[in-house]
Structure 1
Amino acid sequence: MTALHGALAPNGGMKLAHVATVLNGGTPRADDVNWNGDVPFVTPPDLRGLDGDSIVETSRSLTELGASSGSTVAVSGLAVSCRAPIGYVGRLSRRSAFNQGCKAVVPSPAVDEKYLAYVLVAARPILEALGRGTTFMEISASDLGSLLVPATGREEQRRIADYLDRETATIDALIEKQQRLRSVLKERRQEVVRARLADVGPQVQLRHLVVRERPMTYGILQAGEHDDGGVPYIGPADISRVGGTPALQDLRRTTVEIAAQYQRSTLRPGDLVASIGPAYGHVMEISEELDGANLTQDTVRLALDPDRADRRYLMWVLRGAASRDFWNFEITGATFRRLNLGTLARTPVPLPSLNEQREIADHLDRATAKIDALIAKAERFIELAQERRAALITAAVTGQIEIPTED
């Protein structure tokens, strides 16, 4: 046991394994007889954002045969994600199975389930720090069971849980209001872009706007392959939704030898980079400081013909709803929602004169600036409220604040 295990109970506590049963999960074979039954199958993505709330639905389910043959079933208790994302907690609202990315934590009669859920929510930073692995980070049942839980009686546990239910409900209502505002602002932003790009000129396919000597090129560098070199590389996570360039110091780097194998996807200033993986449709421009950088998989380089297309204008087009609608239509029914080079090349682009393209880009820059400022303000409020919520939970379960008694 490390010092991290005792971070929630610096003055002593009880091991989680002494007050609850920790169960490993599993996944049955892919046979049809095991799947699409009545038993919810909990995986880490199903727990994201729950923060101890009940698990209402899961993306997949098992039959009774699948649940008994390849998974683990818990009738009650908590599910904790122990493989990326680590540390998310949900309460089982019904008999459920769970995969190997989760652990079930079934509290003993001496422990209040809601209180223990809040303790594990407060433990998320600790659990993340305990993660180990090379391919992906995860924590073991032993590490989870060694976590020290603050020692307090069941009556006090329930009082803390009731207090946190009330206080977090107020914070959650404020967060939800700002999330709705953010959604409305983003829809408004898309409408501004869509309206300005409607009926502006004849359409051409994107492939006709690329320099012939430097055609569209997939990034093929595997992220994490021979890192710690000197050549920066860009992946989907580095590409901002609304533009901008990631800071050079924040990029991962590969070796010169590896980068030399992928010269076809070497970037030059002014190139555009588009993400084509599951989060497709994000585009950024390469700055002078990123000259010579490379690309990972799920990205494509676009070297535009400056005599036909303005870079800023084309970024507005590719980020717009019309382009996304075209891509969504083209890949309907795909198992993995990923653009291929042919689909991207066929993307229709309204193409007025270069002067009008620049005027449209200038207009959209101005028209969206105020909306972007409001979106940023809402996102900052959400971030601060979430930090306040996390701090309140930690303070309450560790005894840093006095829990008021209800009248």
Structure 2
Amino acid sequence: MTIPRGVDYADSGVDWLGALPAHWTVKPIKAVATLNDEVLSEATLPASEIEYVEISDVAAGRGILGSTSLLFETAPSRARRRVADGDIIVSTVRTYLRAIASVENPPDNMVVSTGFAVIRPRTMHPTFLAHALEMDGFINQVIARSVGVSYPAINASELVRLPVPVPPSHEQAAIAAFLGRETAKIDALVEAQQRLIDLLKEKRQAVISHAVTKGLDPAAPMKDSGLEWVGEVPAHWQVKALKRVTESCCDGPFGSGLKSEHYVDDGVRVVRLQNIKEQGFDPSDAAYIDVNYFETALFRHNVRQGDVLIAGLGDERNLVGRACVAPAGVEPAMVKADCFRFRLGPEANPEFVAFQLNAGAEYASGKMSTGSTRSRIALSSMMERLVVIPPLPEQQEIVRRLDSKVAAATALVKQAEAGIVLLLERRAALIAAAVTGKIDVRRRTDPAVAADATTARRLVGAAVLELVADTPASGRMTSAKRMYLAEAHAGVWELRGQPQRMAAGPFDGALMSEVEAELARVGHIETSQPGGPNSQVRYRLAGQRDALRAELEALLGDRRAAFDKMLADLGELESRGVEAVATLYAVWNDMLIDGKAPTDDAVIGGVLHDWHAEKRDKFTKADLHNYLGWMRRHAMTPTGRGPRTKAGALL
């Protein structure tokens, strides 16, 4: 991040803060805020309703995602910290989760877990302080000071001794306003990606559910399974309790069987709830116990490759009863409390059974589980859970077909999740730069110096039209597609385009006309049509090449690399390729904006059937598949930002 000009910096004396503007100070949190001011009284009426926020309700970089309505008499004993507007909650347990959030306009009856420290700003701008506590540097200090293996925690009194930067109050307000606008843009993109992920997961689950309950032969005779969530199944399938297809099963040790002192850095893997995912075994967040202790005291809880692992505990985001198969390389391993291990007999395929358990997890959670804030199923109940079992060869064929379909859907989900990670990383970097004075928000927030659309169009247009100036075929349509991608892909939102769905691709005639007029006005590029109206547009470089580059770089800032790469990558393509890429990008991007699931076939169908009939004459499905591959290889894939294309005239 470029250091603002005209600002003097001094060492803050805090390693993770580094240099700060010299007129800023550094103070401990307790000097500018209070801690845990309000507690819900034990004398609260039993029938009083509260909105309870648990650690799992808060996500790093995304704030409070939800709450649970409970009666005081049934609420957990940790539901005691009252919060108010402007408070900041910081998780003091499982600090690696980075559960930190601002409290904004909460209901009067909202309380949070005692696992949070509730920080109430007194002499600082609440939003600025909240962003300061979101910094990676601050969070890393919290994690470093936490003690414990399974549930690392920090004492709240130590937490509030940590330092934060303190600018003058007017700068705090300016930084808060700047970050409010900029993080809102990123948050909107994150939400769009999350909607896409949800749609993809729904589609994936629908494919799985149909295969493991209806089979692969649509003409097969059917019978009623007797299971509400399943309905009819092929007549030759059998309904059995899970224990009837199981050789052995167990749950994890409880009580004193497994304590924090038993954990070591390496040894026998402990399979925990967070490792059991519907999409498969998640090897991250590993924990281990001593081999000797396992072999002498806990061997009966062992896990082998091919075992079905089932979650006996769930919450709003992770269903109880979800299942996966223990992968190769997991051994030696054991299950922890609230996790089940089922070792199946020869008539059951583990992958098939896991697919089916996941398909019915939501139903099982509602019918078989107990608990309010967290759902629980006992091992004895899970053993009685009914499954429908085809002959083994049919199970294996269903699994084989599902594997390819699920892998394709999962790849799309992972791509969208990776997009969210990048967006959150960008958000974190922006916050850190702003709250440590590395961004001069005075220029960023002053509308008098902000780039307007006309300026942005002139500067971006100069870079685009210089590519085609003084060439035999100047390429107005190709240039228009580059202008569209500058906004939709490189993030030059100042262009404020309104592209239409023209036969030759996304095109904004008004924007192009303004670009041409502006560049002629400053004597940089001249536009002509020697053949008269509606003839070929030609561009002539009248000024010096790159004369406007410095202004463009000042406008783009950290978007410069993406913009330059986009132009360079498109330079590999002829005009036909640019048209294909821009149109595919627009269809894909529009689908994301609309909250739809952009499979390759859906995007290609949108180009061939929903754009203009001329596309079917220009491109085949194979052509467009190849161009989608090119886009992925060049990381030119949409994220649902930028303008949505509109129906336009036919060119």
Q: TM-score, normalization: structure 1?
A: 0.82
Contact 1:160/1:397, CA 8 A, preserved across alignment:
yes
Aligned residue type for 1:377: Q
Q: Does the residue aligned with 1:261 lie in a helix, a strand or coil?
A: helix
Could you report, residue by residue, the CA deviation over 1:321-366 in whole angstroms, capped at 9, with x for unpaired residues? x244134212266675111122211222221111111111111112
Task: Show the counterpart of 2:146.
Answer: 131
User: Using a 3 Å threshold, how does the CA distance of structure 1 residues 332 and 124 change in structure 2: closer, same or farther?
Assistant: same
Give the partner amino acid of 1:21: A
Tell me whether 1:21 sits opposite 2:36 in the alignment.
Answer: no
Contact 1:241 1:283 in 2 (8 A): yes
Aligned residues: 390
Q: Report if the CA contact (8 A) 2:322-2:361 is conserved.
A: no
Query: Could you say if the C-alpha distance between residues 353 and 76 of structure 1 is closer, same or farther in structure 2, counting changes exceeding 3 Å?
Result: closer
Residue 231 of structure 1, CA deviation:
3.1
**Matched AA of 2:274:** A
Q: Which residue does 2:102 correspond to in 1?
A: 90
The 2-side partners of 1:26 and 1:45 are apart by 22
Q: In the alignment, residue 108 of structure 1 is paired with which amino acid?
A: R
State which structure, 1 or 2, has the greater radius of gyration over its C-alpha atoms.
Answer: 2
1:27 shift after superposition: 5.2
Equivalent position of 1:227 in the other structure: 263
What's the CA shift for 1:255? 3.7
Contact 1:22 1:103 in 2 (8 A): no
Aligned to 2:122: 108
1:71 offset after TM fit, Å? 6.3
Q: Residue 196 of structure 1 corresponds to which residue in structure 2?
A: 211
The amino acid across from 2:349 in the alignment is: D
SS of the counterpart of 2:167? coil
SS at match of 2:289: strand
Following TM superposition, by how much is the alpha carbon of 1:134 offset from its aligned partner in structure 2, in angstroms? 6.5
1:154 aligns with 2:169: yes
Residues 343 and 327 (structure 1), Cα distance of their counterparts in 2 relative to 1, 3 Å cut: farther
**8 Å contact kept, 1:323–1:348:** no
Seen in structure 2, the aligned counterparts of structure 1 residues 98 and 10 have a Cα distance that, compared at 3 Å, is: farther
The equivalent of 2:303 in structure 1 is 267
Q: 269-278 vs 350-359, which deviates more?
A: 269-278
2:278–2:322: 8 Å Cα contact kept in structure 1? yes
The reply to whether residue 309 of structure 1 matches residue 322 of structure 2 is no
Query: Are 2:376 and 1:367 equivalent residues in the alignment?
Result: no
Deviates more, 1:124-133 or 1:372-381: 124-133
Match of 1:66? Answer: none
SS in 2 for 1:399: coil
Please give the alpha-carbon distance, in whole angstroms, between the structure 1 residues aligned to 2:168 and 2:192: 36
Q: Which amino acid aligns with 2:116?
A: C
1:205-354 pair list within 5 angstroms: 205-211=241-247, 215-220=248-253, 222=258, 224-228=260-264, 230-244=267-281, 246=283, 250-278=286-314, 279=318, 280-287=320-327, 289-306=329-346, 308-320=347-359, 322-331=360-369, 336-354=374-392
Counterpart contact for 2:44–2:72, Cα < 8 Å: no
Classify the secondary structure of the residue corresponding to 1:216.
Answer: strand
How far the C-alpha of 1:314 sits from its partner, in A, is 1.6
What percent of counterpart residues are identical? 27
Q: Which amino acid aligns with 2:154?
A: I
Q: 1:169 aligns with which of 163, 178, 184?
A: 184
| 1:140 aligned partner | 155
Contact 1:52–1:89 (Cα < 8 Å) also in 2: yes
Distance (Å, rounded) in 2 between the aligned partners of 1:316 and 1:389: 36
Equivalent residue letter for 1:14:
V
Tell me if structure 1 keeps the 8 A contact 2:249–2:340: yes
User: What CA distance in whole angstroms lies between the structure 2 residues aligned with 1:31 and 1:135?
Assistant: 33
SS in 1 for 2:413: helix
Taking a change above 3 Å as real, the CA distance of residues 363 and 42 of structure 1, as seen in their structure-2 partners, is: closer
Match of 1:359, SS state, is helix
For the 8 Å contact 2:269–2:331, the answer to whether it is kept is no
Alpha-carbon shift at residue 256 of structure 1 (Å): 1.5
Partner residue of 2:445? 405
Contact 1:189–1:371 (8 Å) recurs in 2: yes
Query: 1-side partners of 2:273 and 2:431: how far apart?
Result: 34
Taking structure 2 as the reference length, the TM-score comes to 0.53
Q: CA separation of 1:343/1:6 partners in 2, compared to 1, >3 Å: closer, same or farther? A: same
Kept in 2: contact 1:25–1:99 (CA 8 A)? no
C-alpha separation in 1, matches of 2:90 and 2:159: 11
Q: Which amino acid aligns with 1:286?
A: A
What is the match of residue 389 of structure 1?
Answer: 427
Bigger mean CA deviation after superposition, 229-238 or 114-123: 229-238
Amino acid at match of 2:276: I
Contact 1:82–1:140 (CA under 8 A) maintained in structure 2: no
8 Å CA contact 1:327, 1:343 repeated in 2: no
Query: How many Å apart are 1:284 and its aligned residue?
Result: 3.3
Instruction: Please give the root-mean-square deviation of Cα atoms over the aligned residues, in Å.
Output: 3.5
Among 175, 187, 195, the residue aligned to 1:180: 195
Q: Where do residues 56-75 of structure 1 align in structure 2 (5 Å cutoff)?
A: 59=69
Tell me the CA shift for residue 292 of structure 1.
4.5
With over 3 angstroms needed to count, the CA separation of the structure-2 counterparts of 1:43 and 1:285, relative to structure 1, is closer
1-side partners of 2:111 and 2:392: how far apart?
58
Aligned to 1:33: 45
Counterpart secondary structure, 1:303: strand
Q: Mean Cα displacement is larger for which, 16-25 or 349-358?
A: 16-25
Would the aligned equivalents of 2:92 and 2:153 in 1 still touch at CA under 8 Å?
Answer: yes
2:278 is matched by which residue type in structure 1? R
Does the C-alpha gap of structure 1 residues 99 and 340 become closer, same or farther in structure 2, counting only changes over 3 Å? closer
Q: Deviations over 1:50-90 (max 9, x none)?
A: 7578x996756879xxxxxx967665542322422545032
* Equivalent residue letter for 1:303: R
Native 8 Å contact 1:243 1:284 kept in 2: yes
CA contact 1:5–1:147 (8 Å) conserved in 2:
no
Cα deviation for residue 225 of structure 1 reads: 4.9
Cα shift at 1:286: 3.5
